[in-house]
Amino acid sequence: MDQATPPAGNGSMIKVSVWRSTGPGGVAAGEGRFEAFDVPRQPSQTVLDVVTHIQRHLDPTLTYRFACRVGVCGSCAMVVNGEARWTCRTHVDKVSQDGTLEISPLRNLPVIRDLATDMSEFFDKWARARGQFTGTRTRKDDFAVVSPLSAERQQVDLGIECIGCGVCYSSCDVVEWKPDYLGPAAMNRAWTLVNDTRDQAQRERLAAVAGDAGCHACHTHMTCTERCPKHLPLTSAIAGLKRVTTRALLKGEL
Amino acid sequence: MSRAWRNRNHPAWWAFIVHRVSGLVLAAFIPLHFWALGQALAGEAALEGFIAWTANPLVKVAEFGLVIALAAHLAGGMRLLMLEFLPWRDWQKSLFAVSVAASIGAGLLFALNMG
């Protein structure tokens, strides 16, 4: 597919289809159609560069979200040629098919307008998965000592780098089929806290993730793990929750 | 491939489809299986008549498919249990490959003994 991508520079262009909202706003903002733009190819051009070019030079009404441009903030994720990605860290060369790009908002989230989604539900689910740390110490106590070599701490290390971009949530078929499903990112957060030896809300957390919308609804498609831009083992985190909730159930703790 | 399906084009998603389709095939087969066993209640002749019908080559091909479905569902189920109840390893794609190989192996063994 890459051979057909026009080379950068030399005045060559790339054909871009961008999702545009046609509804007035609110839920209706999800209604829309693809609009075609021709964008000049540049060396090392990212998909975010393409979107920015469209807004600055072709149509200033295009709505999208970004901040850091370097894969730190997690705000520029969109669906590019069918796959959710960070647009800032995706080169056009890597994803264009026959010299075309199709860019749409993240799936499974309400669209605010064009390419910007409302991520409230995504983050509310982190809270619903009991994603808050509950400690017991105060500032007067000494530091808690957690060995970096302990099995629990190493599990935490695997999942803690999540920046909440929503790529996994957008890619997950179970979220699409079952809208109240907590989703991979929220449960990855819960798993890092299940392994936090200082946390005192473990029973509530296990109850929060063991329900109908929780870890046992996961079909192990592993699309979250395939798509995570940080390569976090999300399915592993959900499988971990399945294990600990099953164990807790057998012990009568759930 | 359409862009909508590109998101799903990876081994674990195929494993899910194989498991789901083989499960549906087996669920559809079970009532037929019990019905065939039930023929014994109608007397020896009825059962023998049915067993004779199963010598039909098309039925043999269907049986081959059924064995593949059973092996795939069993191997896929073992894969899922290992994945969810054993400590996680980065071997999940290999596990899927082993499941596929085991299913095809079982099917071929059945085919060799057919006839």
pLDDT digits (tens, 9 = 90+) for A138-165: 999 999 999 999 999 999 999 999 999 9
Nearest chain A residue to B86 by CA: give it. Answer: A243
Q: Residue A91: which of A145, A43, A141, A59 has the closest Cα?
A: A43
Strand order across the beta sheet in which A77-80 lies = A32-40, A13-21, A100-104, A77-80, A83-86
Q: Mutate one of B1, B3, B7 to test the A interface: name it (highest A CB count within 10 A).
A: B7
Higher-pLDDT residue of B82 and A133 is: A133
Q: Where are the beta strands (DSSP E) in chain A?
A: 13-21, 32-40, 77-80, 83-86, 100-104, 111-113, 116-117
pLDDT digits (tens, 9 = 90+) for A74-103: 999 999 999 999 999 999 999 998 889 999
Mind telling me how many Å the CA of A227 is from chain B's nearest CA?
Answer: 8
- Burial (0-12, 13-18, 19+ Cβ within 10 Å), A241: buried
Q: Mutate one of B84, B89, B90, B94 to test the A interface: name it (highest A CB count within 10 A).
A: B84
3-class state of residue B3 by DSSP: helix
Nearest chain B residue to A221 by CA: give it. Answer: B13
Work out the angle between the directed axes of helices B92-112 and B57-85 (0-180°, nearest 10): 150
- Cβ–Cβ < 8 Å for A208, A141: no
The percentage of residues in chain A with a pLDDT greater than 70, rounded to a whole number, is 93
Q: What is the number of CB-based contacts under 8 A between chain A and chain B?
A: 52
Total-model pTM: 0.89
Residues of B in contact with A173 (CB under 8 A): 8
Q: Residue A188: which of A254, A122, A249, A253 has the closest Cα?
A: A122
Distance separating alpha carbons of residues A88 and A167, to the nearest angstrom: 13
Establish if B89 touches chain A: CB-CB under 8 angstroms: no
Q: Mutate one of A221, A241, A245 to test the B interface: name it (highest B CB count within 10 A).
A: A221
pLDDT for residue B1: 59
Establish if B34 touches chain A: CB-CB under 8 angstroms: no
Q: Residue A215: which of A181, A248, A249, A192 has the closest Cα?
A: A181
Q: Mutate one of A17, A79, A103, A222 to test the B interface: name it (highest B CB count within 10 A).
A: A222
On the question of pLDDT at A137 being above 50, the answer is: yes
- The total of other beta-carbon atoms located within 10 Å of residue A193's CB is 20
Residues of B in contact with A83 (CB under 8 A): 6-7
Closest CB to A220 among B7, B8, B16: B16
Q: How far is CA B7 from the centre of its chain?
A: 26
Q: What is the mean pLDDT of residues B91-108?
A: 84
Establish if B92 touches chain A: CB-CB under 8 angstroms: yes
- Cβ–Cβ < 8 Å for A50, A14: yes
**What region, left, alpha or beta, does residue A45 occupy, with left being phi > 0 and alpha being psi -120 to 50 degrees?**
beta
- Cβ–Cβ < 8 Å for A173, A84: no
Beta-carbon contacts of A187 under 8 Å, excluding residues fewer than 6 positions away, are A129, A209, A214, A215, A218, A234, A237, A238, A241
Distance separating alpha carbons of residues B112 and B115, to the nearest angstrom: 8
pLDDT for residue A55: 97
Confidence category of residue B45, pLDDT binned at 50, 70, 90: confident
Q: What does the DSSP 8-state code read for residue A216?
A: G
pLDDT for residue B110: 85
Residues of B in contact with A239 (CB under 8 A): 83-84, 88
ipTM (interface pTM): 0.82
Q: Quick check: B12 and A226 CB within 8 A?
A: yes
Q: Which residues of A touch B (CB under 8 A)?
A: 81-84, 102, 171, 173, 219-223, 225-227, 233, 235-236, 239-240, 242-243, 246
